[in-house]
Amino acid sequence: MKLACETDFVAKTEDFQALGKEIAMQIASMKPASVEELLKQDYLRNSSQTIEQLVKGVSGKTGENIRVLAISVL
């Protein structure tokens, strides 16, 4: 998986790193075929929220754009 933000400062925050772990767990469990499919999936830990909403929430908290650029399922 490739998760991107705008600065190294945000990349080092707990929020960004936790988001990366949550998305990795989602990918391992749900095996989406594409980034688009991943973003539309319900978040495993909170089914009232999609992965896209989860990413937007962390993006709003950090004040930077955060994007999932690629996924890979082994």
CA 30 to chain centre: 13
Supply the pLDDT for residue 72: 83
**Burial tier of 48 (Cβ tally within 10 Å: 0-12, 13-18, 19+):** exposed
Mean pLDDT across 26-55:
97
Q: Are 38 and 51 in contact (CB under 8 A)?
A: yes
Q: Are 15 and 58 in contact (CB under 8 A)?
A: yes
Report field, pTM of the whole predicted structure over 0.85: yes
Size of the chain, expressed as the number of residues it contains: 74
Q: Which two tokens stand for residue 19?
A: 């988001």
* Sequence ranges of the domains in the chain: 2-70
CATH superfamily label, 2-70: Elongation factor Ts, dimerisation domain (3.30.479.20)
